[in-house]
Chain A
Amino acid sequence: MFSYYLKLALKSVRRTPILSALMVMALGLGIGAFMTTFTVYYLMSGDPIPHKSDQLYAVQLDNWDPNSPPTQSAKDIQPQLTYVDAEYLMHAATPASNQAAMYRTGAIVEPEGDDQAPFDGNTRATYHSFFAMFDVPFLYGKPWDMQADDRRERVVVLSRAMNQELFGGENSVGRSVKMNETAFRVIGVMDDWRPTPRFYHVDSGGVFSDAEDFYIPLKAATDLVLQPRGNVNCWLPPDGPGLEAFLRSECVWLQFWAELSDEHEASEYKQFLDNYVRSQKDIGRFPRPLATFISPVMDWLDIQEVVSRDNRVLVRVAFLFLLVCVLNTVGLLLAKFLGKGPEIALRRAMGASKNDVFSQNLVEVCAIGILGGVLGIGLAWLGLQLIEKLYRGYQHLVYLDGGMLLTALALAVTSSILAGVYPVWRVARLTPAGFLKTQ
């Protein structure tokens, strides 16, 4: 019977091509708009490191100006640490199983061949523990070790893409890369690694762009005076020019993460931070009331408002838009189905039950829904291309994965059924007698 209904549905769609096209278009546009904004929202608010996001904590210490407003929550204070505090924590015996300080920087990379021009290499300066803590997969080699950090060794871990670009994708471990006219030895090559959003550094801009291409020991980076490319905030300026003064200043510019395996470890770590800040108060630092925060990944993304307000607004607007499209479709379906009164009456006279009529029209509604859904997916794909064009640094946000495609289709069918259920019910309820006399 289903195939018969399907055949009838297609005939019916063809009988009123403009009305049907209008419905498919309305549903398609509504779904397309909603899916576009929702996909961006969904990817923006995704968990970048699902298996351990509850064990990774961003660290904040309130070292700020005594005159600025009081600190009430993690939102109120700087998201980064001073070099002094980061260095202390890196070398202290804290309860954390892993910790890493890091900052984003850049170095001019000169590829070996003459045919390639020097370029600005997107670099992250950090500690060896970065890779274990964030479960970075390796294609070749391995991360550097603690000695390399201590000895300020000039070693580099490359992203898979950069290894492709510089060495044609071969195992480049042991080869040399010239960064700011200094040779760095390749110690490892990452496999594809794209935490989205890039939670460990949520500076404005770039949260959704690719992870860095070069990873070097932080001390090696400061040795080369590689300056931070991210926010640097100082409530007191450095006490003099030059690197040394900057490093000992109250300027915050380092991201700091700790891996804490359970609640107990987290509370011990927090205690440790509090004790550290108290001891620093004795030597005149941390003039404000004691405030330290540790926030697991998903809380951190929320605190830093990684999902833009604009996107939230757009999702809401697109949802209302979809609602209008559904209402529109209800109206048109109602019009269309009531127009089918005589045919329905005839079928009822020929022995079709209300259920038969209901099913027949439901199949038609679903067919329109699926067509609308397919159009919607197409439009969402186009919409995402447009988003990619309009926004900078969104290249990871603009794909539809299988889950989203299914969601789109389910949304399409659900909306069309929602749109269709009243008209279908109304039509099935028509008394057949009235339509048979003289039409």
Chain B
Amino acid sequence: MLKMKDICKVYRTELIETHALRNLNLTVEEGEFVAVTGPSGSGKTTFLNIAGLLEQPSSGVYELDGEDVGSLSDRDAAHIRNQKVGFIFQSFNLIPDLNLFDNVDVPLRYRGWPARQRKEAIENMLEMVGLAARKTYLPSQLSGGQQQRVAIARALAGKPRFLLADEPTGNLDSLMARQVMEMLETVNGMGTTIIMVTHDAELARRAHRNIQVLDGQVSDLDSIYQARVDRIASGARGEAGHV
């Protein structure tokens, strides 16, 4: 699904060069739920931006679905983001003056679907996150947890196969955080690959696999990974069977 090889990202200003990522190597398989942890400043966000095609690596190879996406034009990158990638953010990033329906509509508009198909998809997604009745509400009328559910609906409305979550529970209390986490697990169970950046160790433990970014490099936490992959992989397959 996702394959990064020797990815480097260097930020240059007049005075200094910052190496945000150095020779990062990572492979994520289809259907995996990967948690990324690491201290702040370690390069987590840069990693996520590159994975989501918001930024391009300075060097190295990035393949998504077998396609080299490391140096696409702006238009092609936007196209892939729109087709294959969904984003969830710590601060939800809903557009404040669009109602829930219109917020979920945003990626679909760029997808160019006809109005009826968009409407159906939006209503299904809002149904799924349990907010169908409030589709004309503005984000400010919702609680944080509800807002994040809308954000999830928005991220998934276009049926992306790859979901990037940046501290999705960071601004939520523990109850709501658990609800959101459960929702992500459900989504993952339906076959969507998820990469989640978090610094909450407990959440990270619920993923299939934990990787840590340190000084711009990935250290796979192998032991944990091995132990967990056997246990969860079968469960995931089982759930996939239901769909």
A residues with CB within 8 A of B: 1, 4, 11-12, 14-15, 342-343, 345-356, 431-433, 436-439
Contact = CB atoms under 8 A, between A and B. Distances in A.
A347 B106 contact: yes
A348 B54 contact: yes
Interface string B67-98: 00000001101110111010101110101011
A352 B90 contact: no
A351 B93 contact: no
B154 interface: yes
A166 to B, nearest CB: 66
A349 B52 contact: yes
Contact of A351 (B55, B82, B98): B82
B5 interface: no
A436 B45 CA distance: 10
Nearest to B106: A350
B154 A351 contact: no
B78 A351 contact: yes
B87 A349 contact: yes
5 interchain residue pairs of minimum CB distance: A351-B82, A353-B78, A350-B107, A433-B49, A351-B110
Contact of A353 (B74, B91, B166): B74
Contacts of A347: 106, 110
B118 to A, nearest CB: 11
Contact of B81 (A14, A342, A349, A438): A349
15 contacts: A1-B109, A12-B97, A346-B93, A348-B78, A349-B81, A349-B87, A350-B87, A350-B110, A352-B78, A352-B110, A353-B77, A353-B110, A436-B89, A437-B45, A437-B166
B151 to A, nearest CB: 10
B109 A349 contact: no
Contacts of A433: 45, 49, 54-55
Interface string B135-155: 000000000000000000010
Nearest to B77: A353
Contacts of B90: 437-438
Contacts of A352: 78, 82, 110
Interface string B33-66: 0000000000001000100101100000000000
Contacts of B107: 350-351
A439 B74 contact: no
B79 A351 contact: yes
A272 B58 CA distance: 86
Contacts, number: 76
A350 B89 CA distance: 12
A338 B123 CA distance: 32
A354 B82 contact: no
Contact of B75 (A14, A350, A355, A437): A355
Contacts of B82: 350-352
A102 to B, nearest CB: 69
Max count, chain A CB within 10 A of own CB: residue among B45, B110, B112: B110
B160 to A, nearest CB: 9
Contacts of B110: 347, 350-353, 356
Contacts of B77: 353
Given A346-B95, A350-B110, A356-B110, 11 more contacts: A11-B97, A343-B95, A345-B93, A349-B52, A351-B78, A351-B158, A353-B74, A353-B77, A431-B55, A433-B55, A437-B45
A350 B154 contact: yes
Given A351-B83, A433-B55, A346 B74 contact: no
B134 interface: no
B71 to A, nearest CB: 16
B197 to A, nearest CB: 10
Max count, chain B CB within 10 A of own CB: residue among A14, A15, A347: A347
B111 interface: yes
B83 A439 contact: no
A343 B97 CA distance: 10
Contacts of A348: 54, 78, 81
A432 B79 CA distance: 15
Contact of B93 (A4, A11, A356, A439): A439
B54 A351 contact: no
A345 B112 CA distance: 19
Contacts of A345: 93
A354 B74 contact: yes
B54 A350 contact: no
Contacts of A436: 54, 87, 89, 93, 166
A315 B4 CA distance: 63
Contacts of A351: 78-79, 81-83, 85, 107, 110-111, 158
Contacts of A439: 91, 93
Contacts of A15: 97
Contact of A350 (B45, B49, B74, B81): B81
A339 B113 CA distance: 29
Contacts of B78: 348, 351-354, 356
A349 B54 contact: yes
Given A350-B82, A350-B107, A342 B98 contact: no
Nearest to A428: B74
B119 to A, nearest CB: 14
A106 B239 CA distance: 104
A37 B85 CA distance: 56
A65 B47 CA distance: 94
Nearest to A5: B109
Nearest to B112: A1
Contacts of B93: 342, 345-346, 436, 439
A343 to B, nearest CB: 5
Contacts of A349: 52, 54, 81, 87
B195 to A, nearest CB: 14
Contacts of A432: 54
Contacts of B91: 438-439
Contacts of A346: 93, 95, 106
Contacts of B85: 351
Nearest to A437: B45
